[in-house]
């Protein structure tokens, strides 16, 4: 990959395959919402005006001093940002290769995950637009809890659509959403997981778009959602870059994040795209390579449109979104954000996989070696970071710990027990 880079003084990456990362965020997505050939807005005619209104409102207030100041105040006083970086010293010493592991602690963000970063921005936008309700899907429940929190903070109604399988699997987060005042709508169609929850949420939004706003939970969906969510999540990467340099005096050699839809990953990656840092996105291999046993769309998928955007997706024999599986409810989605597909194709980000067994091993390892209980989603990134550290003779790896594992306790104990 390095041979494609053009460098300037200080080692900053300027271009990769004709993409200028110095001006990347000004040029991607383009005005139509495309990252190369991925993205866009494949939506019914009646929703196009609504998307245009959202985009116009976002483009207006995102440049507003008042909006920026309010968002910064919320992040500091309500969310508890900036979240810290922790050095995993005991785990690094146990691996013993000399490579050092660090984690960006999004588990310490209010509500226990990175999702509140974009939810507070989206609901602030909804309030600016005069909407009365926010609608969304959720898989692991982290986005649902974050949106219910934001809705309570700003005084808006909140409807959360969640698959029946995930409701049973993520009972603590379901309780939290209800306590916060959200209406949790059980989705019993299809596999009853995240893809079906998105379908149901979109259908509900089409009936209520005049009074409500759809607050998508990742860097997916029709334009402008992939851009908006990335921009709100970029605070993770901006903080992490500054903190890591302050902590160590240099940039990390590698950064790692799990990828389902890809919001936490784009948040972290945003801070390092223009740096000589190797970037890894980690997809869920689940039970194995067979279609239906994993949700690794970027690794095994092909170009296709679903939920209003063009990206790389897993398809069945008829070309429809394939059934997917992951031990992590927040990762079992048959596509990934269009920006991830673009970064995959140009080679700026390396995408790889870890399976369920490696993930659960990492869950217990981090808990016992460092006193940090990670979300199962985040455990995919931890597992990959450990594998990477074992291959490296030296250097540093920064992992995005996108959420905490409280929500997964009952499921882990029931399915895996307490490992010795």
Q: Enumerate the active-site residues.
A: 115, 137, 402
Using CA atoms in the order 291, 294, 295, 298, what is the torsion angle rounded to 10 degrees? -70
Say whether 163 sits in a helix, a strand or coil.
strand
Cβ neighbors of 90 (< 8 A, separation 6 or more) are 369, 370
Longest dimension (CA), the chain: 59
CA atoms within 13 A on the CB side of 26: 4
Query: 3-class SS at 169?
Result: helix
DSSP-derived pairing of the beta strands 302-306 and 157-163 = unpaired
- Supply φ then ψ for residue 38, to 5 degrees: -105, 150
In order of 130, 211, 267, the CA distances from 310 in angstroms are 30, 27, 20
Buried b (16+ CB within 10 A) or exposed e, 153-178: beebebbbbbbbbbbebbeebbebbe
Which two tokens mark 326? 């992951």
Strands 133-138 and 212-214 turn out to be parallel
HSE at residue 343, side-chain half, CA atoms within 13 A, is: 26
Peptide bond into 409 cis (omega under 30): no
Tokens read off for 155: 């005084």
Cα 130 to chain centroid distance, Å, stands at 27
């Amino acid at each position: 990959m390095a041979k494609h880079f053009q460098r300037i003084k200080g080692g900053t990456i300027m271009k990769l395959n004709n993409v200028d990362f110095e001006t990347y965020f000004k040029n991607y997505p383009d005005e139509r919402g495309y990252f190369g050939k991925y993205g866009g807005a494949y939506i019914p005619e009646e929703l196009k005006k609504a998307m245009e209104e959202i985009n116009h409102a976002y483009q207006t207030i995102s440049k507003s001093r008042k909006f920026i100041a309010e968002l910064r105040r919320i992040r500091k006083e309500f969310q508890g940002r900036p979240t810290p970086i922790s050095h995993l010293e005991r785990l690094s010493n146990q691996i013993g290769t000399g490579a050092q592991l660090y984690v960006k602690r999004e588990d310490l963000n209010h509500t226990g995950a990175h999702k509140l970063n974009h939810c507070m921005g989206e609901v602030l936008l909804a309030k600016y637009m005069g909407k009365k309700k926010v609608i969304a899907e959720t898989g692991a429940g982290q986005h649902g809890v974050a949106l219910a929190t934001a809705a309570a903070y700003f005084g808006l109604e909140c409807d959360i659509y969640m698959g029946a399988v995930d409701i049973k699997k993520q009972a603590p987060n379901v309780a939290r959403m209800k306590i916060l005042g959200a209406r949790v709508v059980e989705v019993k169609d299809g596999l009853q997981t995240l893809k079906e929850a998105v379908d149901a949420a979109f259908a509900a939004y089409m009936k209520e778009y005049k009074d409500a706003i759809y607050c998508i939970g990742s860097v997916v969906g029709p334009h402008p959602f992939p851009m908006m969510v990335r921009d709100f999540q970029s605070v993770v990467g901006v903080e992490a870059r500054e903190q890591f340099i302050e902590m160590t005096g240099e940039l990390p050699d590698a950064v790692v994040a799990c990828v389902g839809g890809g919001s936490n990953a784009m948040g972290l990656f945003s801070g390092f795209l223009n740096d000589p840092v190797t970037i890894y996105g980690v997809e869920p291999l689940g039970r194995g390579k067979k279609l239906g046993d994993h949700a690794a769309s970027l690794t095994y998928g092909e170009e296709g449109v679903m939920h209003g955007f063009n990206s790389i997706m897993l398809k069945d024999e008829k070309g429809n979104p394939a059934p997917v599986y992951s031990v992590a409810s927040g990762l079992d989605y048959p596509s990934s954000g269009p920006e991830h597909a673009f970064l995959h194709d140009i080679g700026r980000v390396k995408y790889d996989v870890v399976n369920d067994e490696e993930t659960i091993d990492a869950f217990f390892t981090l808990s016992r070696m460092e006193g940090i209980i990670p979300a199962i989603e985040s455990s995919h990134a931890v597992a990959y970071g450990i594998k990477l550290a074992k291959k490296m003779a030296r250097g540093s790896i920064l992992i995005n710990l996108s959420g905490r594992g409280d929500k997964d306790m009952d499921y882990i104990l029931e399915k895996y027990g307490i490992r010795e």
